[in-house]
Chain A
C-alpha cells in the first residue's frame, strides 16, 4: 500500500562539500543513503530517515544537514501533523503504534519550575574544592532505633542492620537489559558503574555469565515478569535484587523483545531459545495482590540468604503512593519510582504519552506519604524518569528521593540522540541493536569513559550546589524542601510538591 505519510526529515547535502566518500551510506542502517556510480553522487531516501544524525555527525566534510521536514498539512490546532500521520500509519497497517525513548509530549517539567537556594551571610556557603563534601549514600532499610549497650567503655550495637547498597554518588544507571541494548552498551554501563562507585541495573534480560564475577559487585539484578535469565547464581552474584513491577514509559503493560533481537548470546543470557519472542507479561503472574508481592520479596530474600536488599520498581501512577506504602510493608528495602517521562526501548505510543504522573510530583507525594505513616526510614527511594542534569538530581533529592536512576541521560552520554527508533533494532549508534556490525561501533572503553565523565561532572556540580546551600553532606538535603521554591506553578502543584512559591 502506498504510504500517504510525509518523510519526517529533510536531508540536505551540500554537493560542493560532498566528496562521495560513501561514509553516510555505510553509517546508515536504515538505508537512507545510496551511491549512484553513474553520476558518482549520493542520493537520499528521506522516507527512511530516523533523524538520528549519525550521518551528519560522521560526515568528514560536514556536508549533510538533517532537519525536520518543512512539509505541512493545513495548520489545525486539533489535528497536528503528528496526529494526522499516526492515524495514517495505523490506517495503512492496522497495528499498534510503537515508539522508543521517553515521552516527548509537552507535559509540565517541574524541574524547570523549581529554583534552588544558596547561603548569603547567615550561613556560610562551602567551597567543595577545598572543604569536605559528602555524597555517600546508603540505599536500603534503616532501623527505627538502635539497641546499643555500653559497658566499660565498650559500645556494642545489638541491632542487626539490614543489608544496604553503598553509592559514592546518588546516581545509578537505570535498568536497561541486554537484548534491548547491545552487549557493548551493557558492558559500558557496567564498567562505568564499577569505576564510579555506583551501580548499573541489568534490566530483565539476565547477566551474561562471564560478567558475573567482574561486575556483580556493582550490579543490581532485575526480576521482571518474564523471569529471563534468572537462577540462584544470578541473584546471588549481585549486590541487590530489583523486582520490576512497572516502568514509567509503559505502566501496566508488558513487552515483547522481538525474536530477531534474540541472538544466540541474548538467548543464552535470557535462558530462552534463540529467535523466540521474549515476552514479558504485563503482570508478574505470581503477583496479583500486595501479599503476593510480599511472597516474592520474601522468596528473593530466602534465595539470597537475606544478604541483599530487595528493591521494587513501580511506575508512578495515580494511587501509587498508597501502593508504595504497601510495598514497604511487604518488605521492600528500596522503592524505585519511574515517572511519566521515563524512557524505554519500545512502548506503545498511546501508553507512553498518556499513562502515569510526572516524576517530580511522585517523589514528593511518596516521600510525604511514607513520612506521614512513619515508615520512611524503612526504605530508600530511587527516583527515575526524566532526570537530565545535576540540578534535576539535587531537586529530586530535596523533594525526598535518596538517589536517582538515569537511563536516557546515560544513553545520550554514549551517543544516543533520542531518535525514538530503538524498537527497530537498527540503532546507528550501536546502542539499541543486536546487529554486530552496528554494536561494534560502540567502543566499550570510550563509551564507559564518557559515562564516568558524566557521573563525575554531575557529582561535582552537585557538590557545588550543596556547598552553595551551606550543606556538606547529602543526607542533609534529603527531603529538605526549604531549599526549593516554585516559579510559575499553581497552588495545588506547590501543595503536592510541598514547596513554597519563590519569594514566599
Chain B
C-alpha cells in the first residue's frame, strides 16, 4: 500500500468518514456473542455506505488471557505478495517476540466481501533483549507495532491487546461480523462496533474501525478538523500516523494520555474535549486552574470538529462527544447491560425495555465499568 511512503511535501490524504457507532457491555462481566450488536449496527445501515465495518470484542480469548493477541492483515494484491508479507512479518516477529500460538483467523468464505486480505493471529509475549530489556512491555509492543506498520510492506497489525480482538474490513458491519462469524465463535463482555461512511473508496481493510493499540480501541463518528495539529504532536511521541484516517489520532491520544501518562478518564475527556474559555472563566479557582493548565499543556490534543467516539478498554467502555456535541450519542442501561449508540432505535431493537436512556452532554464522558475487573486505580 502507498501508506508506507511519505514524500517531502507531505502529500498525505486524510480521509473523512462518518458513521454509526454502537457499544454494549455486561457490567457483571457476563459474556455474550456478537449477534445482538450485529443486529443493532445493521439497523443503522443508512448511516454507513458499506465501505467499512468493524468490531472490538473484549474477553474473547480466555484460554490465552495472559498473551498479547496480535491480529494481522496482509494486504498485497496477489496471494504470493500476501504470503511474502506474512513471511517477512514472521521473521520480524520471531526476533522480537515469543510466539506461543498462531493460526489463520477463521472466516466464513460464503460471505461475500471485497478483496479480503490474509488474516492471521499470533499470541505472543515480548522477548526484550539488549537495550530493550528496561523498556516496559507495553511501550515495547507499541514501538514494534509502529515499526511493523510503517516498515513492512503489506503487513498491518490491527489488534494487539490481551484477551481481546478487533475484527474489521470493507463491507457493511453486519457482513464483516458474519465473515468473522462473530455471532458464533466469540463471546465477549464488551463489544464496540462501527459502520462506516468514508468519503473515499480505496478498499483498504486497515482503514475500517476500530483503531486500537494494546487493549484500547476507538470507534469514531465525525471529522477531526484539528487532525494536522494532533498528528504532528503525536508524532513527537513516536506515534506514526499511517492509516489515512483521523480516527487513529484519537486512539493514539488515548494511548498516550491513559496508558503512558496514566491520566484518569475524566481528565482525558477534558483534554480531548475541553470546556470553552467562557465556562472556564466562571469556574472556581481550583477548577479554573486545572482546566487552564490542561489546555495550556495539551492544547495540541484538543480534538476539534464534530466527533462521537466509543473508547473500549478491558473492563471499561467510554462514550464521548466533542465539546459542543456536534455528533449524536445516546446512552442507555438495562440491568447489568450498558449501551452506547448513535441512535436510540438500535438499542431498542435488541433491548426494547430500558431502565434509562439519556443523551450525554458534550465533552462529558459516559463510562461503563465491569465491577469485578478492578482496574488499577490511576492517579493524576
Q: Could you list which residues of chain A lie within 8 angstroms of chain B, going by C-beta atoms?
A: 288-292, 294-295, 298, 319, 322-323, 325-326, 329-330, 373, 375
Contacts and interface: CB of A to CB of B under 8 A. Distances in A.
B18 A290 contact: yes
A329 B199 contact: yes
A209 B11 CA distance: 50
A291 B306 CA distance: 12
B201 interface: yes
B18 A325 contact: no
B231 to A, nearest CB: 15
Nearest to B322: A288
Interface in B1-54: 13-20, 46-49, 51
Most buried by B among A288, A291, A295, A323: A291
A289 B308 CA distance: 11
A157 B361 CA distance: 52
B199 A289 contact: no
20 contacts: A288-B326, A289-B18, A290-B17, A290-B18, A290-B197, A291-B48, A291-B197, A291-B221, A294-B197, A295-B46, A298-B46, A323-B199, A325-B199, A326-B16, A326-B17, A326-B18, A326-B197, A326-B200, A329-B49, A375-B201
A186 B14 CA distance: 41
A102 B168 CA distance: 47
B162 interface: no
Interface in B356-374: none
Nearest to B199: A326
B328 to A, nearest CB: 9
A291 B18 contact: yes
Given A288-B306, A288-B326, A329 B16 contact: no
Contacts of A375: 201
Given A322-B13, A330-B49, 15 more contacts: A289-B222, A289-B326, A289-B327, A290-B197, A291-B20, A291-B48, A294-B47, A319-B16, A322-B199, A325-B199, A325-B201, A326-B18, A326-B197, A373-B201, A375-B201
A439 to B, nearest CB: 40
B153 interface: no
Given A319-B16, A322-B16, A290 B306 contact: no
Contact of B46 (A289, A294, A322): A294
A298 B46 CA distance: 10
Interface of B: 13-20, 46-49, 51, 197-201, 221-223, 306, 326-327
A325 B197 CA distance: 11
A326 B200 CA distance: 7
B327 A288 contact: yes
Contact of B19 (A291, A295, A298, A329): A291
A237 to B, nearest CB: 28
Contacts of B326: 288-289
10 nearest A-B pairs in the assembled complex, by CB-CB distance: A326-B199, A289-B18, A290-B18, A288-B326, A291-B18, A291-B47, A288-B306, A322-B199, A329-B49, A373-B201
A327 to B, nearest CB: 8
Contacts of A326: 16-18, 197-200
A290 B327 contact: no
Contacts of B200: 322, 325-326, 373
B260 to A, nearest CB: 30
A281 to B, nearest CB: 13
A438 B199 CA distance: 47
Contacts of A288: 222, 306, 326-327
A323 B201 contact: no
A292 B20 CA distance: 11
A293 to B, nearest CB: 9
A90 B305 CA distance: 30
Contacts of B306: 288-289
Contacts of A290: 16-18, 197, 199
A329 B13 contact: no
Nearest to B201: A373
Contacts of A291: 18-20, 46-48, 197, 221
A322 B15 contact: yes
Contacts of A373: 200-201
Contacts of A298: 46
A452 to B, nearest CB: 40
Most buried by B among A290, A295, A298, A323: A290
Most buried by B among A295, A325, A329: A329
Contacts of B48: 291
Most buried by B among A298, A373, A375: A373
A425 to B, nearest CB: 34
A4 to B, nearest CB: 35
Contacts of B51: 329
B361 to A, nearest CB: 16
A162 to B, nearest CB: 17
Contacts of B222: 288-289
Nearest to A328: B199
Contacts of A323: 16, 199
B46 to A, nearest CB: 7
A290 B49 CA distance: 11
A71 to B, nearest CB: 44
Contacts of A330: 49, 197
Contact of A319 (B14, B46, B49, B197): B14
Contacts of A322: 13, 15-16, 199-200
B359 to A, nearest CB: 15
A326 B196 CA distance: 11
Nearest to A322: B199
Contact of B223 (A289, A294, A295, A325): A289
Nearest to A298: B46
A396 B326 CA distance: 36
A288 B16 CA distance: 12
Contacts of B20: 291
Contact of A289 (B13, B14, B49, B221): B221
Nearest to B307: A289
A95 to B, nearest CB: 23
Contacts of B201: 325, 373, 375
Nearest to A374: B201
A329 B197 contact: yes
A291 B201 CA distance: 16
A388 to B, nearest CB: 31
Nearest to A329: B49
B296 to A, nearest CB: 28
Contacts of A294: 46-47, 197
A294 B17 CA distance: 13
B121 to A, nearest CB: 32
Contacts of B14: 319
Most buried by B among A288, A295, A322, A323: A288
A293 B68 CA distance: 41
B44 to A, nearest CB: 9
Contacts of B327: 288-289
A206 to B, nearest CB: 28
A290 B48 CA distance: 9
A234 to B, nearest CB: 26
